[in-house]
Structure 1
């Protein structure tokens, strides 16, 4: 079993959206559960709208004392945890990181977002000694400003943490799309939308990230 913490302490980066849609992509080949420990309960409201239609199991529990029990969910291949989205619940985040195997940090292509995710890495993820990847999210190539390739190079070569060149990131990214934006309100995940060109793009993006994750785990297992 793998426990993945989806972490983002800056509002609006797509933390909950990442947790739910990545779970949907992983659920195509794995038994998956999403656990919402964010007091804002955005994922819980999403799951409530979905009813029994999600392709994975769902639970909500914001009690830090219960988080250690996530290691006992032996019926699942993957547990994705939607963590608190602010700096006010560091106790919950610390408890989550203690039981996690991997951290996904959604990131918008914006300078302030990089600064926020760097703070989270330095304060929480790196001290926990966890493997992690940044996930470029909400990418809109129609918008002006830096190109995606420029952001990728910046993440690969920039020194955001003293003495460290570059930040590990997924090779794939998530494009901005109507299905991704509408899914929480529709009570769906991207894999449940009809097969249009726009929806195919969203499904492809999350499926590609899921494949990266499972490939990474497979390589780690071989090297163990």
Structure 2
């Protein structure tokens, strides 16, 4: 099986990119080997999958972008942890808050949008899936993720403004990817009781309905609780109904 690279992206913050990626990764790791690369300087993905808030700069993806000819992504990979114990089949490349500064200085590098793509090529087919978490903007890390991705997953939540980040993102995608962009929209934090907002979101997405996934992720307090204790939901609350949604998403993504 060829490694499939998937990025979670949306210029609008707070729509659940990181949460979606963490829980998708945890579900895929039941049967497949998964690497999560944190490309967001906030490092929330790193915190959830390692329980650690701080890493040495040279241990993070920021060091790779700083000196891509010296630092290899292979040396930055570490196992995802739950209460200090490795999670089977799930690895992570941590981020560092200095990543935003490094990205600014990387703007002068030749082929700057392909730094990550070239690094991922070093992994060969070690992983079945590589998941890329991006910041809520079109910074160089997001552009690198788009360039390296086979699929761009765009989460939108039930907020009236969550769709605002889609068009600028798709414009960037079409510029970077000459062929037809492969993207899918995921409705996240769906509350079936909120008929007004659900109808609004559905109307807004009508024009791209062929790109909207049939799977949706329900709103659940267990998700935010799991984030607070640095754990994917399936480990925090195995009986939570939202796990069924993430499982369906993983099944659909895995094909």
Q: TM-score, normalised by structure 1?
A: 0.80
Aligned residue for 1:108?
157
Q: Is the 8 A contact 2:12 2:164 kept in 1?
A: no
TM-superposition CA deviations, 1:2-57 (whole Å, max 9, x none):
11011122111001101100101111121001110111111112223144344411
Q: Which has the higher contact order (CA 8 A, sep 6+)?
A: 2
How does 1:33-44 map onto structure 2 within 5 Å?
33-44=35-46
Shift of 1:143: 3.4
Aligned residue for 1:178?
221
Shift of 1:144: 5.2
Aligned residue for 1:220?
none
Q: Name the CA distance, whole Å, in 2 between partners of 1:38 and 1:59.
A: 11
Structure 1: gaps (5+ residues) = 159-164, 216-224
Q: Is the 8 A contact 2:11 2:168 kept in 1?
A: no
Q: Return the structure number with greater strand share.
A: 2
Aligned residue for 1:202?
242
Aligned residue for 2:252?
212
Shift of 1:109: 2.8
Number of aligned positions between the proteins: 201
Q: Is the 8 A contact 1:154 1:166 kept in 2?
A: no
Q: Name the CA distance, whole Å, in 1 between partners of 2:136 and 2:164.
A: 15
**Quick check: which has more Rg, 1 or 2?**
2
Structure 2: gaps (5+ residues) = 52-81, 104-111
TM-superposition CA deviations, 1:101-147 (whole Å, max 9, x none):
1110110134421122122112x223324311000001112335233
Q: Name the CA distance, whole Å, in 1 between partners of 2:246 and 2:224.
A: 14
Are residues 32 and 75 of structure 1, via their aligned partners in 2, closer, same or farther at CA, if it must alter by over 3 Å?
same
